[in-house]
Chains A and B, each alone.
Chain A
Amino acid sequence: MQVILEGKGLSKWYQMGEVRVEALRGVDCEIYEGEFVVVLGPSGSGKSTMLNMIGGMDQVSAGELYYRKEPLHLADEKQLTRYRRHAVGFIFQFYNLMPNLTALENVQLVAEIAAAPLDAASILNEVGLGDRANHFPSQLSGGEQQRVAVARSLVKNPELLLCDEPTGALDFATGIHVLKLLKKFQQEYGKTVMVITHNAGIAGMADRVFQMKDGKLARVYRVDAPVTPDEVSW
């Protein structure tokens, strides 16, 4: 399998006044095309920081990061924007939908800026919200909002889907529903999905699991027989 992302000695520190906070301390990792990776770790372990680096939302302090051999650690703001725009889809814990756009419009908003978008309406159908297309976020439940968020990140047909605690704000059944969508996207479209969570239950459905601790990759292991989202429990 081809490497889609490669990190060498990834480090990130923040200068907080006179104190230097090291969020990521020399992480080496490879992510392959089409795999489902779960990053596990307690709060403060550096997993969100890693997602920020990989998602092109922040610059690394030291180390190298390549997306399909392109050095992201050398990219300027413009190139990072282009990377986010065309290669990456994001799903947030708190959905971050535009409150004054309907479900369909939220999806179209992203489709408008993508290079080769999928059809917004049919993606919305696929996540099971075809009949709620003209509702505003305030008229949708949390699970529905997260499904809109999923549709929104899928519509631009990204290579890489990054999810930050996608089920964190949802009840169990709704969470499972969202996980199914992610799995479906990975399997049917052959895209790479990276889920960040502190929920160890989700790790069971991954191809590989990254365990993080104190800004370092503590353990990486392959799941021999990933379970289906229906079998996940927490």
Chain B
Amino acid sequence: MLKRKMLRDLMENKLAYLACLVIIVIGLTTYTSISIVMENLYRAKDNFYADARFADGFARVSGMPAAHLDRLARIEGIGEIEGRQVKDVRVLGLDGERNVHLRLVSLPFIPGEYERPINAPLLVDGSPLNEEGRELWLSPDFFAARELKLGGEISLLVEGRAVIFTVAGTAQSPEFVYALRTAQEMFPMPETFGIAYLPASTMKTLFREQDRVNDLVFLLEPGYTYAAVEEKLRPRLEPYGLISIFSREDQVSHAILTMELQGLEGSATAMPLLFLSIAGIILYTLLKRMVEQQRGQIGTLKAFGYTNGELILHYLSHALLLGLVGGVVGGLSGIWLSFSFTEMYAQFYQLPGLGRELSYGYLWRGMLLSLVFCALAGYFGCRPSLRLQPAEAMRPAAPPPGRRTWLELWTFYWFLLTVQGKMATRNLFRSRQRSAFTLIGVMFAFSMMATTWYFRAITDFLIFDQFTRVRTHDLQVAFSRPLSLPEVERELKAFPGIKRLEPMLEVPATLKHRWQEEDTIILGLPRDAYLYNILTDTGQRVDPPTGGVVLAEYLAAQLRAPPGTELILESYWLEDPVRVAVVGVIPQHIGTNAYMEIHALNGLLGRGSLATAALLAMDETYIPLLQERYRETEAVASMEASEALLDKVRELMQSFGSMQYIFAVFGFIIGFAIIYNSSIVSLSERQRELASLRVMGMTSGEVLQVLTFEQWLLSCAGMLAGIPFTIILMHTLSRAMGSELFSIPVIVEVDMFIVALAGTVFSILAAQWMLSRRVRRLSLLDVLKERD
């Protein structure tokens, strides 16, 4: 019988319980789906790394005889070391708006069943490589994006001549799970960049270097740390022109995957916690009110001999039922959502074996989580009234004492209020706990919507910043090797349509300050450069310095090098380390660089006047002409038109757009549920009072105002509190998400708060609209009855 009573109790406030249920479902859907995706990613990653023998350390040199590898293998702590040639080449015949590139990676031997090189590409489809013919394996995403065929041919521009290869298969290496051509790119672009693997013997025949390698990978001996090995390896590699040496942690693909996994881990904890807490609070207030209201019934049941335990179980069962239904629905929808989530991740992260895995573990765990939250909320909600003796319980509770509040000390505010307003103001303090919950809830809803807009603003800002303020050139021509600056100028200036040409010199370097050191690329730019702008946080252009370097904020922070600090600069372009002073720090949002004036940088290097790229401002109509003219030039590595790149980035950004709207909807639901719940509870507490007002001649609109005035007071306070809370949240997110690749600016825009305000107000209005229906149904006759 109590079960039936429970169901009827729930039906009485079905909308409030439903809102609560929706929040539980959202919490568990996020928990289950993110956890499963995370587990899938971790499992796929760990298996893949182990199968493919992912390297612990990486080094790039300008060239080293392959025969010298043996000596390095003897270094204490190195388990295995392999040398490879890694070269970027252009693909012929596939060019669209952008040039298409492949990164050729030589394989010391063909991976077999029992023996695999370090970073072994695992064959996904096709046949093993034949050392005799010109065969290669391609990365699967490139292969798919370009709609190539197994056994088909692909033409590459190698050292100025076209070489035809046969595509023997597709293969994936752990090094290129997230394949970026340069660290400056934000997303893998499989249409224009892929990886190709070919036998070292084939590679040898293509390039002049023959028996030299330019890329080393190594595995550590168990018990040794990377740092200890690097210390020994670094001096041994310096004679070969060490460009960079880094651990697995700093390997771009691995770093991005790790960052993503950490982000997921955070979301898998924070999101369900947030939603379940809110649902818990709502459930707590609803049950508390119901138990208060049913005092008489509880007294009667106790008088009949029901034990406290049975009654607690009865009231707990309301919460548990909600927890159970929420758990099942949330868990199942989480599993279902995890399929598409996993597929989405599979588009960005090339992890063989990453697939939809059914995991009921998280379903159970999620249900347990939901039940525990609901049980706690239910227990604390119903405990107080159950402690009463039956006779006491059957008597009506003492009337709530009226009290003056501190707000009345603001005589001016108090004077402005109507009596209805005064009543509402005092009501805020009548149930302080609930008022506090409402305020915090509105604050959350507001901040969630503001943050949604913030992410929109960030992506817009990053794109805008990068393409309209930092890189204002129309075309960037990158050279395959440093070229003489005067020659470049002479060559290009003659080309029609070029309005301005600015050379750029990119020098890979290591910057050291005390024991901190960072690998970076120093960009040398002309003094009056305006096709690539160095901007301060307020958007002021800074001239590239002739004495000293300007550092990106992230770099300066890593090196603990504020302006005025003297750094040691090492580079394989330099014979000996030199000292440079930090003369400025700027917020670089995409990538991390150091900047110098190009002639000063050339002077420092002492190799004459060099450039590695040219930035062009030019008449758009001439861009295809120029691309055509230099397409086959060996010295030109790539020609990137900004407009085409921008389009591509915009397209990718759009796929993230839907996520933002989902969060906005979550914010709306939270706002609605919090306000609706608190008003349902107020309404039920004060049914008699409000009905008397109706009897005395107030319209239902006027009665509603008493309730809504109260809510608006709380909501305004909540939204006001939401502004600093959002800013704190933004700073936290910015710090948490910032890395070598991105620095996320904190953008405080009025827009953001206006949108959040509109969204929150809308959710409050929706809740009040539902409330107004209940106020209209308020029974006037109830006031004449005795108190229940």
Contact = CB atoms under 8 A, between A and B. Distances in A.
A88 B697 contact: yes
B786 interface: yes
A81 B784 contact: no
A41 to B, nearest CB: 15
A58 interface: yes
Chain A interface residue number, banded: 35 or more
B787 interface: yes
Interface stretch (B179-187, B357-365, B537-545, B687-695): B687-695
B420 A84 contact: no
Contacts, number: 97
Interface string B748-788: 00000000000000000000000000000000110110110
B698 A55 contact: no
A57 interface: yes
A64 interface: no
A93 B784 contact: yes
A146 interface: no
B699 interface: yes
Interface of A: 48, 51-52, 55, 57-58, 78, 81-82, 84-86, 88, 90, 92-94, 96, 98-102, 105, 108-110, 112-114, 136-139, 152-153, 156, 164
Contact of A92 (B399, B694, B784): B784
5 contacts: A94-B786, A101-B402, A101-B419, A112-B420, A139-B402
Contacts of B702: 113
B402 A85 contact: no
A100 B780 contact: no
B426 A100 contact: yes
Q: B399, B402, B430, B702: which has the most chain A beta carbons within 10 Å?
A: B402
Contacts of A88: 697
B400 interface: yes
A155 to B, nearest CB: 10
Contacts of B689: 96, 98-99
Contacts of B784: 48, 51-52, 92-93, 164
A42 B675 CA distance: 44
B703 to A, nearest CB: 10
A114 B419 CA distance: 13
B684 to A, nearest CB: 15
B439 to A, nearest CB: 19
B409 interface: no
B44 to A, nearest CB: 61
Contacts of A82: 697
Leading 9 A-B pairs by shortest Cβ distance = A85-B697, A136-B402, A96-B692, A100-B426, A84-B697, A109-B419, A138-B401, A57-B780, A100-B402
A110 B696 CA distance: 7
A57 to B, nearest CB: 4
Contact of B419 (A85, A108, A138): A108
B699 A138 contact: no
Contacts of A152: 696
Given A109-B419, A113-B697, A153-B696, 11 more contacts: A84-B697, A85-B696, A85-B697, A92-B692, A93-B784, A98-B692, A100-B430, A105-B422, A109-B423, A109-B693, A112-B419
Interface in B249-302: none
Contacts of B696: 84-85, 90, 110, 113, 152-153
Contacts of A55: 695
Chain B interface residue number, banded: 20 to 34
Contacts of A99: 399-402, 689
A72 B402 CA distance: 37
Given A57-B695, A92-B783, A136 B403 contact: yes
A100 to B, nearest CB: 4
Contacts of B692: 90, 92, 96, 98
Nearest to B776: A77
Contact of A138 (B400, B423, B688): B400
Nearest to A136: B402
Contacts of A57: 695, 780-781
Contact of A94 (B403, B780, B787): B787
Contacts of B400: 99-100, 138
B654 interface: no
A81 B694 CA distance: 8
B422 A52 contact: no
Interface in B473-499: none
B419 A105 contact: yes
Contacts of B695: 55, 57, 84, 90
Contacts of A156: 697
B466 interface: no
Contacts of B694: 81, 84
Nearest to B689: A98
A138 B697 contact: no
A84 B783 CA distance: 15
B201 interface: no
B427 interface: yes
A31 to B, nearest CB: 19
Contact of A85 (B698, B700, B787): B698
Contacts of B698: 81, 85, 113
A114 B697 CA distance: 9
Interface string B406-428: 00000000000011101100110
A145 to B, nearest CB: 10
B402 A58 contact: no
Given A100-B402, A109-B423, A112-B418, A58 B697 contact: no
B406 to A, nearest CB: 14
Interface in B356-410: 399-403
B781 A136 contact: no
A58 B780 contact: yes
Q: B400, B401, B784: which has the most chain A beta carbons within 10 Å?
A: B784
B20 to A, nearest CB: 28
B699 A81 contact: yes
B780 A98 contact: no
B430 A138 contact: no
A109 B702 CA distance: 12
A90 B781 CA distance: 12
Contacts of A81: 694, 697-700
A52 B402 contact: no
Q: B423, B697, B700, B780: which has the most chain A beta carbons within 10 Å?
A: B697
Given A48-B784, A94-B786, A109-B419, A102 B402 contact: yes
A137 B689 CA distance: 13
Nearest to A84: B697
Contacts of A109: 419-420, 423, 693
Nearest to B428: A100
A1 B751 CA distance: 69
Nearest to A51: B784
B690 to A, nearest CB: 9
Interface string B669-706: 00000000000000000001100111111111010000
A63 to B, nearest CB: 18
Nearest to A107: B419
A100 B427 contact: yes
B714 to A, nearest CB: 16
Contacts of B427: 100
Contacts of A137: 399, 402
Contact of B781 (A58, A93, A100, A105): A58
A55 B781 CA distance: 11
Q: A93, A99, A136, A138: which has the most chain B beta carbons within 10 Å?
A: A99
A101 B422 contact: yes
A138 B781 contact: no
Nearest to A106: B419
A78 to B, nearest CB: 7
Contacts of A78: 699
Nearest to A196: B784
Nearest to A52: B781
Contacts of A136: 401-403
A114 B689 CA distance: 18
B697 A98 contact: no
